[in-house]
Amino acid sequence: MAMILHYLKTSFEYKYLVEEVKKQKTNHFYGISGSQKSLWAALLVEIQQRPLLYLVESVVKGKEIFDDFVNLFSPAEVQFFPAWESLPFEVLAQSPETRYQRLKVLEGLLSGKTKVVVTTWEAFSKTLLPPDCFRQARRQLKVGQSVELDELIAYLDTLGYQHVERVEEGGQFSRRGGILDIFPPGLDDPYRLEFFDCEIESIRLFSPESQRSRQKVSEIILMPAGEFFILKEKKESAWANLEKEADVFLNKLKQKGCKEAFHNFTNKLKTARDFIEQGNFFHGSEQLLPYFIQEKYMLSDYFLQTPLLIFDEPHRQKQSCQVREKEMREIYLSLWEKGKVLPGQIDNYLGWRQMEQLWYQKNVYFFSLLPQKVATLPKVRSFGVVAKSTNLFLGKLHLLADTLKVLKAQKYLVVILVNSEERIRRLKQGLWDMGLETTISERDLVFQAGQIYLTTGYLTNGFELTDWKIVVFTEHELFYQPKKKAPRRMFQDGKRVTFLEDLQVGDYVVHLNHGIGRYLGIEKLAVADMERDYLVIKYRGDDKLYVPTTQVGLLQKYSYQEGLRPKLSKLGGSEWSKIKSRVKSSVRDLAQDLLKLYAARHAARGFPFAPDTPWQREFEDSFPYEETEDQLQCIAEIKKDMEKPRPMDRLLCGDVGYGKTEVALRAACKTVFNNKQTAVLVPTTILAEQHYSTFLERFKGLPVNINVLSRFRSPKEQREIVEDLKTGKIDIIIGTHRLLSSDIQFKDLGLLVVDEEQRFGVLHKEKIKQLKKTVDVLTLTATPIPRTLQMSMAGVRDMSIIETPPGERYPVQTFVVEYSPQLVQEALRRELGRGGQVYFVHNRVEDIETVATEVQNLVPEAKIGIAHGQMPEVLLENVMFDFYEGHYDVLVCTTIIESGLDIANVNTLIVNQADKLGLSQLYQLRGRVGRSNRVAYAYLTYQKDKVLSEVAEKRLSAIREFTELGSGLKIAMRDLEIRGAGNILGAEQSGQIAAVGFDLYCQLLEQAVREAKGEKEPPEKTVLVDLQVKAYIPQTYIADHGVKVNFYQRINAVKQEVELQQLAEELKDRFGPLPEAVLNLLQIAKIQLAASACKIEAIFQENKIIKIKWEPEHDLTGPALMQLVRRYRRKVSFNVAEGLELKINVGNLAASERLGFLEEIIAEISSLASAEQVLI
């Protein structure tokens, strides 16, 4: 891209442009569109040597410009500044991605790292804190610097950071003794500061997933956790300003007798006062900015140097802004009358008239396609640019060659931008075959007129600059399917969910020997004058079990579907043993069945598909997005299966929108180019039509015949399709269970793709089972499958899993908000205004029509459809299909939309009474939107004034965490995984999972599979160690119960000494120097490992004597024992009366010396035993 700019700078036109621009006039450039605008902006930056602020009408347009700028400028200097979706409604929670990105931009501008910002007029119109306030709030910390830790924590509180036990998200901090973890928003990794007294001893980056340090840094910059924070010096004046306005408004409400509005406003005022006086942050606290700062500051004020300000299509921006401004004012006035907004809240935004004042400044430019007059500025200089868009070639190389020959003859410079070296190579060869010579450009190459250059790079679309005699072609023109390879993303990546089985008080647990109980916490008990930690488990009645931390490996967290409360087991008796035996028997049968199927499939003869053909590679190269690593891995696994001489039966798991269909498309492509047919079986007619559209689009231009068989085809069309399948005219057929009918015959079926098999009936599943014996089968499921289950079934079920979301998806902006008609009206009109559609979820069939009528009254102009599970199947399908086709604007429906349709045009979801739905349901519902290049919105509403049950309160709290990417999201994912396990294993096994909990079930299944395969595992033996030393994790060292239990589990599970060393390092890294009790705990674990290798059964202490008891089958002989006794003389003796027992007199040795002596003796025993083995 730099070479294009360099070429343009050598022209006469560029010199003329420089002279005009430097006259410091306001300039309007018209006649340019698409990537021409991006190039023109880059030229202006080059001329003015200033940073750039580029304003667009919409996020979609902003995405195109952003992608261009990443390639035209240094990628690290380009950022996108999104609009803060600050609703004038009371928001309980809001997803954090937008906040992170905005703060990242502000920090980048103040530090000078960001030079180019793309934003929308809506984001730009929001007022900000003065840059000086933000700059002064930033804080630099260095290694060796003296800092009062308490003062630093107070500073973090002031800037809106949240104090938590474990730092996992931006805007959080945690203190553990002299260690402070801080996660500034917008960064990939948090910081860990270790103090020695008041001095910063070290600063390290650490992983929020593993909590382990990654690398050391010498200094860091801390920035505020939000755009608005308390300005101490402005507290009194802010409250005085607010109180003054509030008094006037409250008097008006009193005079009018508006009791409800008075009550609402009083509550609003109290929240504001708590924030001003005590710093109690709340969502929407930035609404108070006008009371703290009267002046208005904009994004442009944050640049270190006055930026070039470019308005893209100002007339469109003006129209959109004025419409939005009118809507916001109407909403504000409506809420103001009800006492639900503060008087000055509307002052947080600039109106269009105020924005126009910026036009009178220097360095302001306007870009537009048409030569429209910028009305408010009489002295604008307008320049017409002679430019035009280029033709589309749609993959037809001969048309491109013809065009290039004409351009070459006219001495045009032609630059062809493609995304990969492979495409450059193929394109060069293809054009050479047609008599055209091209040059592959290198970094230092100087472009020359009349030449054709091939280079890697990206612009949204190509163009022709006629006066400059230059043409740029991109993949948009060449293939009409540009491969999205933008080096950077506009939004920070969403966090991947990880499961940490940290136990919390109140959780249900499963003890391997005693069954299901409830965890009550950790108690320290004194036994033989030694304090130790015990996990307390409550069982049925008043029974309690005290589990020593050495036996924590026998405990697992009980996991099943969300909201299920299992029946507590009774201590003693045979109830639990019977349940466990029943489950063991069931999984043993399951394992045997799976193994038989697996063996039969391996023995069967199938068709070995040939390696990939050039057609296949061309098809895959035309995929318009960058594949995720998971997708590529799954594709490789499936192709490998297909190329084997046996039928494939592989399950492909992946969340909604994670790219399973593309994987299936590539398998279908491989099948077709091996001259075999593919059948795609889906559960609904609408899905069949949807897949049909997708397949047609992807195979466009290839000699592949695709059709669909469903009830939407006439009887005559169905008969023709059936005949074409039989004769082999159809390569790929997509259909519902109609494909399983007896009249369907294939000429040569090679691949069956089954989408969501669990949604088919018993008879249909049986037919699928028969097909699996002879053809390759790929089954798709959107329900995630847990890794533990995948590992348990290794060797009896082939699975591929896509866990990584696609990179170019915008995060769904999620709000937990009180329900109000104004909110619904605003959300609906916003979506309909951009030509989109809306899901309105109301999960009660009884009054869904009443709700639909209410929605219709709010937006009379909208076309409303209703869908629920009690409708006749044909009617339901018709409604859903009409919505898919765009005949309805809003679909008022139940949770029936949880799985199924993928409609790119639906980008707003409103859930009524979200507190009545489970987290996994909300997670799946939210996955229904955000499937396109638009920002999507999800409003999870609740009735605030209704008295909520305890369960609903907890669920609302969890929904809040779920929205903010906290533990609620983990609950939702775990629930979905367990549901997915039930789908794969069947209804009977779902009952077994419920009986013992998911984790124990997987453990039993893994054992059963091993047994079925004839693999015998030696029983695990744990050496019992009971010594009179303090060995536990003190509360002062690790305060969080869950984290503490997690470490006990990990210490007890170690198999090698190196793991103990790693645990010790992790403990020191996360919590500071190890206390004596923790050192003892780790040393005892080390002794256990060594003792186990020596076939020692138990080590225990009685007063000053430590006794070591061996297993009956030990390796020590009499001479070896005598050698041991001689070495340690009177301190060691042995007895063989009741099995081998060694006595060690430790006298008055301190705890650490005692453990060290014991470790030394066991090492000697190990050495003697090894010597005996060598002699034998």
pLDDT tens across 874-921, in order? 899 899 989 999 999 999 999 888 766 778 899 999 999 988 888 778
Residue 846 pLDDT level (bands cut at 50, 70, 90): very high
Tokens of 812: 């769904």
Measured CA to CA, the distance from residue 1132 to residue 1144 in angstroms comes to 5
- Collect all residues with Cβ–Cβ distance below 8 Å to 1058 and sequence separation of at least 6: none
CA atoms within 13 A on the CB side of 154: 7
Residues of the chain with CATH 3.40.50.300: 2-131+296-385, 608-644+658-781, 813-960
**CATH 3.40.50.11140 location in the chain:** 388-478
- Enumerate residues 6+ apart whose C-beta is below 8 A from 391: 399, 403, 477
Report d(CA 435, CA 441) in Å as an integer. 19
- Can you tell me the distance from the alpha carbon of 604 to that of 1094, in angstroms, rounded to the nearest whole number? 48
Q: Is residue 184 pLDDT above 90, yes or no?
A: yes
Q: Which residues, at least 6 apart from 255, have a Cβ–Cβ distance to it below 8 Å?
A: none
Percent of the chain with pLDDT over 90: 38
Give start and end residues of each alpha helix (H) in 707-796: 715-727, 762-771, 787-792
Phi, psi angles (nearest 5°) of residue 729: -70, -30
CA neighbor of 281 nearest in space, from 148, 195, 171: 171
Q: Is the domain defined by 1024-1175 classed in CATH 3.40.190.10?
A: no
3 state DSSP class of 498: coil
3-state secondary structure of 188: coil
Q: Which of 370, 499, 375, 1034 is nearest to 786 (CA)?
A: 499
Q: How far apart are the first and last CA of the chain?
A: 75
Question: What is the Cα–Cα distance from 278 to 270, expressed in whole angstroms?
Answer: 11
**Of 16 and 1073, the one with more pLDDT:** 1073
Q: Which residue has the tokens 């965890």?
A: 519
In whole angstroms, give the CA distance from residue 862 to residue 849: 15
> Tokens in use for 677?
């047919």
Can you tell me the mean pLDDT for 169-175? 92
Asked if residue 1174 has pLDDT above 50, the reply is: no
Q: Which numeric CATH code is attached to 813-960?
A: 3.40.50.300
What band does 491 get if pLDDT is binned at 50, 70 and 90?
low
pLDDT of 498 over the 50 cut:
no
Q: What per-residue confidence (pLDDT) applies to 41?
A: 94
pTM of the full predicted structure?
0.80
Instruction: Please report the pLDDT score of residue 879 as a whole number.
Output: 93
Question: 80-124, pLDDT tens digit by residue?
Answer: 999 886 566 667 677 788 888 999 999 999 999 999 999 998 899
> 758 pLDDT exceeds 80?
no
CATH annotation of 139-222: 3.30.2060.10
In CATH terms, the fold of domain 2-131+296-385 is Rossmann fold (3.40.50)
> What is the arithmetic mean of pLDDT over 849-853?
96
Q: Which fold has domain 608-644+658-781?
A: Rossmann fold (3.40.50)
Please give the CATH number for the structural domain made up of 388-478: 3.40.50.11140
pLDDT (mean) for 603-617:
88
For the segment 29-42, the average pLDDT, to the nearest whole number, is: 91
pLDDT of residue 370: 85
Sequence-distant (6+) residues with CB within 8 A of 250 are: 262, 265, 266
Domain with CATH 3.90.1150.50 in the chain: 1024-1175
Please give the pLDDT value at position 968. Answer: 53
pLDDT greater than 80 at residue 609: yes
Q: Which of 208-212, 305-309, 807-811, 1166-1170 has the highest mean pLDDT?
A: 305-309
950 confidence band (pLDDT: 50, 70, 90):
low
Cβ neighbour number for residue 1120 with a 10 Å cutoff: 18
**What pLDDT band is residue 1106 in, cutting at 50, 70 and 90?**
very high
